Chains A and B, each alone.
Chain A
């Protein structure tokens, strides 16, 4: 195989599931390209990726704030009422002296999701305004490092499991935050499904290439 220079490597894609080499082709707006070996989605083309991403990530941040401020579930046992919020779950672990678990939980269900969506908002803003070439690079690197460590979806399932354990003993009322968290998790899943990080890299390349070319010609 012959290549003109290293930048020509951007036309190639390696499947992240089975490591088969592919050549990238232009596809229609809104469609996706799949791996020929295992059928995994390799990339999508969305001409309004920055706008979609910005809208989705701001929505997700709003729902995340709702999920953290309001009570998640409320239970009634023997006339006593108790409720929890997301911060309360790991704060109570700290109170009981479980510092390691508390630290791990707070990172996995609070700090990392918050960071991811703040980074998304910053990133898409930068790409939209066409500024910050190095900053957007740093943000993308940081994003791909913390992406696998966000576990709000697992936390949502855990809430359900914990509630089923309590069914016989207490009356359970779902709070606003539970539904907000559900919407947040759905948005999170939708974003990780449709906006793969390599697409944001490609978008960044297109934007700054265009900008640099314009500056040169001007």
Chain B
């Protein structure tokens, strides 16, 4: 009995030695498989899926900045060039994003006008601003004491971001559907620019390291 007790005690002691001391803020979440990991400095590898956690995004925002700026540049021609070109009985008529929204509004289809307006103007601009704010705020102590939940902000941009693709899909559907001898709808240059812009904002959001928020909170 005594021996057993001693053994147990020894085992307990050994276990005590094997224990790893971890601080709670050193725990990080793998962005790929969501496993909890211990932060070991610069080169982290997820213990479950093996993907590098901060290898190419080592506490830096350059990649995210690059994508964001590309997206903003692509957004300019997306608004200037026609999105949709209607060829009707020999006359060609192009409409930009804003023009299309205004036309829908004048025709009285308010909900659709609102959806398109939100999807292709409000959401991209909002996303640019939020990413801008997040990228600046992790570098400089901007809005540090204000009670803005940046994690929630980031999560929101990730969720609503893809919805700006609506306009591109609508153009694709219309262009595929209206293909008659007299009436034809063709996608315009803006469709390419807009699709690229959305694509790059999504990339920028994915490249943004959420851990930086935690660092700066």
Contacts and interface: CB of A to CB of B under 8 A. Distances in A.
Given A109-B169, A154-B163, A162 B34 contact: no
Contact of A19 (B151, B158, B179): B151
A73 B172 CA distance: 14
A178 to B, nearest CB: 12
B144 interface: no
Contact of A5 (B18, B35, B48, B155): B18
Contacts of A55: none
Interface string B4-41: 00000000000100111111100111001111111000
Contact of B35 (A75, A93, A166, A201): A201
Nearest to B164: A154
Interface residues of B, number: 65
A161 B155 contact: no
A89 B37 CA distance: 44
B152 A38 contact: yes
B182 A78 contact: yes
Interface in A87-144: 88-93, 96, 98, 100-101, 104-105, 108-109, 137, 140-141, 144
Nearest to B19: A2
A84 interface: yes
B165 interface: yes
Interface stretch (B61-69, B108-116, B132-140): B108-116
B125 interface: no
12 contacts: A2-B22, A3-B19, A4-B20, A88-B176, A90-B172, A93-B187, A96-B186, A108-B165, A154-B165, A158-B169, A197-B34, A201-B35
